[in-house]
């Protein structure tokens, strides 16, 4: 089922509007301004993109952004926070990658009919990621192998840290935004041994920043490439200054990988 670009962005805007008054929480949904979620159609590439539901065996449908053309393109797999939704994550990562990558956004389990979605535990996230990733590679052989990014926010980041080693062969780059699972040396070594290449830890709260600092130290001792970035006062959100940090760090994250185009930095990729 194809979703319109404006429909996808509108879903993201609507979900953000509903969450505007939510308190900060380590497992809560993202908070963002409408300014940070301008329609993706502002970019010239938007009309060339396809956004569709992807049937995931054993799970609710994911959302998949398919870049234009027939050339190989890398993959981003995104996991939202508790109460989030895959449409918002795809809107976020579609603009950060400027429509040049496949973006696969997991759905998880619905909390209740009026709320969003969550992942029951890291085993459930692992199983859904495995199934969704296999289906995406089956449907689209032009996904560049061994060059993907795993991206998690809040719950998706905390649980994602526990499973990324298992997926490092296909997703060697990791972006964890406002996650609270601390890495240790053993976990870092396992990630590198399985093919992991680099980890970005992006934070908007002091709690996350403390965890990221300790995780960065452990990952460096394990010999991993790692960067911890903090936007003081930004809050528990992937948007605003945190989004700017992530955008600025993507060229570092994928440096030297021919599957990724050179990406300029900026706070609003949709205006490129």
Query: pLDDT digit string (tens) for 159-214?
Result: 999 999 999 999 999 999 999 999 999 999 999 999 999 999 999 999 999 999 99
Query: pLDDT digit string (tens) for 104-114?
Result: 999 999 998 88
Would you say residue 16 has pLDDT above 50? no
With pLDDT > 90 as the criterion, what percentage of the chain qualifies? 76
HEC readout, the chain = CEECHHHHHHHHHHHHHHCCCCCCCCCCCCCCCHHHHCCHHHCHHHHHCEEEEECCCCCCCEEEEECCCCCCECEEEEECCCCECHHHHHHHHHHHCCCCCEEEECCCEECCCCCCEECCCHHHHHHHHHHHHHHHHHHCCCECCCCCEEEEECHHHHHHCCCHHHHCCCCCEEEEECCCCCCCHHHHHHHHHCCCCEEEEEECCHHHHHHHHHHHHHHHHCCCEEEEEECCCCCCCCCCHHHHHHHHHHHHHCCCCCCCCCCCCCCCHHHC
Domains defined along the chain, listed by start: 2-15+48-271 (3.40.50.1820)
Would you say residue 40 has pLDDT above 90? no
Query: pLDDT digit string (tens) for 121-152?
Result: 999 999 999 999 999 999 999 999 999 999 99
Higher pLDDT, 242 or 265: 242
Q: How confident is the model at residue 115 (pLDDT cuts 50, 70, 90)?
A: confident
Residue 271, pLDDT score: 37
Q: How confident is the model at residue 45 (pLDDT cuts 50, 70, 90)?
A: low
With pLDDT > 70 as the criterion, what percentage of the chain qualifies? 79
């Amino acid at each position: 089922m194809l979703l319109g670009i404006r429909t996808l962005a509108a879903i993201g805007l609507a979900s953000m509007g509903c969450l505007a008054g939510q308190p900060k929480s380590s497992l809560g949904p993202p908070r963002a301004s409408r300014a940070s979620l301008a329609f993706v159609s502002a970019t010239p590439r938007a009309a060339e993109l396809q956004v569709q539901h992807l049937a995931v065996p054993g799970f609710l449908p994911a959302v998949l952004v398919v870049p234009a053309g027939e050339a190989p393109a890398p993959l981003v797999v995104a996991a939202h926070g508790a109460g989030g939704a895959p449409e918002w994550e795809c809107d976020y990562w579609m603009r950060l990658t400027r429509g040049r990558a496949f973006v696969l956004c997991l759905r998880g389990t619905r909390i209740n009919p009026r709320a969003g979605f969550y992942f029951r535990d890291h085993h459930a996230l692992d199983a859904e990621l495995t199934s969704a990733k296999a289906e995406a590679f089956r449907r689209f052989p032009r996904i560049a192998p061994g060059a993907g990014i795993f991206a998690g926010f809040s719950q998706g980041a905390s649980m994602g840290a526990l499973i990324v080693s298992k997926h490092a062969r296909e997703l060697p780059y990791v972006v964890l935004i406002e996650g609270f699972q601390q890495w240790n040396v053993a976990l870092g070594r396992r990630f590198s041994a399985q093919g992991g290449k680099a980890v970005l830890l992006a934070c908007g709260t002091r709690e996350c920043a403390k965890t990221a600092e300790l995780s960065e130290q452990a990952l460096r001792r394990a010999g991993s490439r790692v960067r911890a970035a903090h936007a003081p006062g930004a809050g528990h959100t992937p948007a605003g200054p945190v989004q700017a940090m992530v955008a600025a760090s993507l060229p570092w994250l994928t440096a030297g990988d021919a599957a990724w185009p050179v990406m300029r930095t900026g706070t609003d990729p949709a205006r490129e």
